[in-house]
């Protein structure tokens, strides 16, 4: 199976680290011109250099902009008026008792996890439809269908993300443009390492910490380990390619069997 993205421009939001950075690298390996995005100039520059080191000869651009705000999204769109592949990866999460989450925090999570992707999809989808080809992907989570008691606000925004993605897929029906969500399971990133340590015991060695976290807090996982970001990126690369031309309006799982369902 040859995933060839030569001639395609792919934007991945929140791609200076973690899952987003792994996606940028995988798309660059497939030949895409990739655009790294983050809020800070220095972090974006550093991420661009890491992509070039991982993929010699990669065509990579960095744009620093906070796409969770209207002004930041406008800045990015002004610098990059057209893309072929949009990966709405930007997201935030934090453990918080649901009764302690105030209105401001609910709004912040909605702005970052939902509305940022809505803004960019609204900006780039018309051009994709006009050209007769495009891919829009939202990096969602198993929490979209299995609401975690310690992160209800996060889970709710990820559920909304699925509905938004399905709605945009309907808007693009019959155009050659596909819109999908990717449900990532518990994934090994720097942020998740901190989260796991806070949920279990930060003094334990990482391997034991990870096993205890999965056993005590994510026992449904059939993989019984954290997923590596590159494993999420592989699914994204496939869905970004011509090979996935008949897959749209879907929520594709890379969750290690965490969601107890026989449907994808």
Q: Which residues are catalytic?
A: 154
Give the SS3 label for residue 231.
helix
Q: Which helix (H) or strand (E) holds 62?
A: strand 60-64
Other beta carbons within 10 Å of 31: 16
Q: For residues 181 and 141, is the Cβ–Cβ distance under 8 A?
A: no
What DSSP string runs through 75-96? Answer: HHHHH----SEEEE--------
Strands 134-141, 9-12: pairing kind: unpaired
Strands 177-184, 85-88: pairing kind: unpaired
> Of 28, 13, 105, 106, which is closest to residue 63 (Cα–Cα)?
13
* Backbone conformation region of residue 176, classed left if phi is above 0, alpha if psi is from -120 to 50, else beta: left
Q: Directed axis angle between helix 41-54 and helix 18-29, to 10°?
A: 40
Q: For residues 155 and 148, is the Cβ–Cβ distance under 8 A?
A: yes
Residue 33 CA, chain-centre distance (Å), reads: 18
Q: How far apart are CA 157 and CA 173, in angstroms?
A: 24
Phi and psi at residue 38, in whole multiples of 5°? -165, 180
């Amino acid at each position: 199976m040859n995933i060839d993205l030569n001639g395609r421009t792919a934007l991945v939001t929140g791609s200076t680290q973690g899952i987003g950075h792994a996606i940028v690298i995988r798309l660059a390996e497939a030949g895409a011109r990739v655009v790294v995005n983050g809020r800070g100039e220095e972090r974006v520059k550093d991420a661009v250099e890491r992509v070039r080191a991982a993929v010699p000869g990669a065509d990579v651009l960095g744009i620093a902009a906070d796409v969770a705000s209207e002004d930041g999204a406008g800045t990015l769109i002004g610098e990059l008026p057209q893309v072929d592949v949009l990966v709405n990866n930007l997201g935030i999460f934090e453990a918080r008792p649901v009764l302690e989450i105030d209105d401001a925090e609910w709004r912040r999570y909605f702005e970052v996890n939902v509305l940022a992707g809505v803004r960019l999809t609204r900006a780039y989808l018309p051009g994709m439809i006009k050209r007769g080809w495009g891919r829009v992907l939202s990096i969602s989570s198993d929490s979209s269908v299995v609401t975690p008691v310690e992160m209800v606000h996060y889970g709710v925004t990820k559920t909304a993300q699925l509905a938004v993605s399905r709605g945009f897929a309907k808007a693009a029906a019959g155009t050659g443009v596909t819109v999908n969500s990717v449900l990532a399971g518990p994934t090994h990133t720097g942020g998740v390492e901190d989260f796991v340590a806070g949920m279990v015991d930060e003094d334990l060695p990482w391997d034991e910490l990870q096993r205890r976290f999965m056993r005590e807090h994510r026992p449904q996982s059939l993989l019984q380990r954290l997923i590596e970001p590159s494993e999420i990126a592989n699914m994204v690369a496939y869905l970004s390619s011509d090979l996935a031309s008949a897959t749209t309006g879907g929520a594709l799982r890379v969750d290690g069997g965490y969601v107890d369902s026989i449907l994808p």
